Structure 1
């Protein structure tokens, strides 16, 4: 079946004005101001008047198998369901392990990824976890990235955090070099996803790697960069030195009250301070455990990350912080795809039909397609996981 979306304001994520968009199979076949079809083939037509059509959202950090609970076994967080993503416009997720790489395993991560892919979602994974040396499936980072299609990089490796393995400059340099070469040999980027904690060392170790080796800062992708103003300012310097940074959209009221920036606010702050808009991304940290620590790292409480926060932060960036729709979209579509080397995050002819139809005024989700498959219609999930 062909699907013809008529009269949407098209963002690729660049704004192109009113367009008709034609989908066939898994691909976008054409878009132009008016598409005329003279055919007896069945065509599903959608009136998109009053809507904007955007690329499917790319969520660059999701704990699809749940996170390890910092309050012991009973606090391990649950796995992600398909509709946790699709109902909120997310058509592509990048999955990783975090603090817990013992009860949470890479075998389970890949199995969960394959299951979500069977349902129609685009899923990629990182090998490794918070700690070094990196745990792998095949015995090496190189073989994981080269021979397991889901693996595109390593992470999320923790720095500036009391829960990290306290990695050295040499360890990070060797890991980045191995991942980069493995990526080159397999057509992937081999990026190192970096979990940045609240310790005042911030990104110092990454700059030390860049200054003492041939590894570019762009080989590292630090996230949680909206923890506080000092880290945010360090992130601005990192971007201006050639890197990209990511803001976490899932947060807690406690953290916001104790200096954390909302992701939408952090995005606006960086744009106002002259950071190249292509260097900024947002991710949900969905289904991660969100531990609340006091200044002495005593655990006060625990919450769970939500994929829905990615869409919410996009809307907040536009409606509350004055970020343009184009720049806010870039942060959740083309930018993370570019950083990670994914053929996603844009709308182009012969490109994958990962699309989101949003109400032009409210930016609420109406329809979502993943690889041309209609997942959400009029805000309701029409494709669900078998246990939802």
Structure 2
């Protein structure tokens, strides 16, 4: 059991200064002053959170945990992420995916990596597939993956308007979105088609066609990387105003191109009266961040980490956004959208995924499923092979 004393709690709603009692992997009790009695509670780890803020653990719905990249040849395949890549950056729940490479990397490899991270202390889920259509699955089809594989919640990331994808038509996307929807209905999962938006000329147009030409509801579609260029950014505002859901990539930065900071995009969407329930964020960590010229030639390549999630939260707050609003796209909103029950909130009965951050929003402690992973700004739990590297 763990007792957190005197934390200023954002659930994400601000509920004031309170104590939090954790029993096993759940939040058992939240009260103004929990007085421990050894005979009643037994051994308890007590964390003095005076001067600290408690917020839900980050849910990162787009992470290449088993590596990504490869656009510059075999030597540019990015390495797997390790446990502390996630915990030191506040991520307690992640959704893994393949990305560009569905040939040298497989769904089996991805699921094995996710199960390993789960054993080490995270909560993990998975998208099935990769950039291409027909996409790669672990069973015969995407619908069966969603229904029969516990970790798989939807399909992604499917590349739209990107020279690395398979140039999917609206019909291709409609068929795959239908498979997602039915798979989700039959299994009680979100059944979302998660789509990567590239720098191609059409931008959002294939997704607009899906909405115009089919009965697929917005709830089953989630385009990401909407801040990668001016075209996609502008189209995403129209899409969201019409009722669509969008995912902003925190690792995208305007480094000499037309990309836009995630915090700026989030602020703009809110000013456009788009509900925060329709906006999520994710890091794209573990994948490569390639820069191509106008002819599709690779110019440079680097690897992303999930530290940009907390950086974006801090940027939103420094720009004057209330804390409870700034943390929504990485906590309760993705939990709701992805049907991750018990996640994204600090409430009695919810999973004990809690961050303690100081006044500068630097991570002091991380609790994941009731286990202390980071304490006093340092990792106290490491992955199986981290000590060897």
Q: Is the Cα contact below 8 Å between 1:207 and 1:217 reproduced in 2? A: no
2:364 to 356, 363, 366: 366
CA distance in structure 2 between the aligned counterparts of 1:256 and 1:224, rounded to whole angstroms? 15
The equivalent of 2:335 in structure 1 is: 337
SS in structure 1 at match of 2:174:
helix
SS at match of 2:255: helix
TM-score w.r.t. the length of structure 1 is 0.96
Deviates more, 1:29-38 or 1:371-380: 29-38
Partner of 1:297: 296
Aligned residues of 2:313 and 2:327 also touching (Cα < 8 A): yes
- Within a 5 Å distance, the mapping from 1:79-90 to structure 2 comes to 79-90=80-91
Alignment of 1:1-388 (within 5 A): 2-40=1-39, 41-251=42-252, 255-319=254-318, 321-343=319-341, 344-359=343-358, 361-388=359-386
Count of residue pairs the alignment pairs up:
383
Residue deviations 1:125-168 (CA, integer Å, cap 9, x gap): 01111110121111111221111111110000010111111111
My pick for the range that moved more, 163-172 or 36-45, is 36-45
Given that 2:180 and 2:220 are in contact with CA atoms closer than 8 Å, whether structure 1 keeps it comes out as no
The alpha carbon displacement at 1:38 in A equals: 3.2
Q: Which moved more, 1:260-269 or 1:36-45?
A: 36-45
Distance in 2 between residues matched to 1:324 and 1:153, nearest whole Å: 32
Do the aligned partners of 1:244 and 1:339 also contact (CA within 8 Å) in 2?
no
Q: Residue deviations 1:106-140, cap 9 Å, x none?
A: 11000001100000101100111111012111111
Give the drift of 1:312. 1.3
Task: Report SS of the residue matched to 1:367.
Answer: strand
SS of aligned partner of 1:132: coil
Distance across 1 between alignment mates of 2:278 and 2:365: 28
Deviation at 1:256, TM superposition (A): 2.5
Partner Cα distance (2:216, 2:195) in 1: 15
Paired with 1:26 and 1:368, the residues of 2 have a C-alpha distance of 13
Q: Which runs of 4+ in 1 moved over 6 A?
A: none
SS of the residue corresponding to residue 304 of structure 1 reads coil
Gaps of 5+ in 1: none
Return the alpha-carbon distance in structure 2 between the equivalents of residues 370 and 191 of structure 1. Answer: 25
Task: Please state how far the C-alpha of 1:171 moved relative to its aligned partner.
Answer: 1.2
Paired residues of 1:245 and 1:281 also in contact (CA < 8 A): yes
Verify the 8 A CA contact 1:3 1:22 in the aligned structure 2.
Answer: yes
Contact 2:227 2:252 in 1 (8 A): no
User: Could you tell me how far apart the structure 1 residues matched to 2:291 and 2:230 are?
Assistant: 18
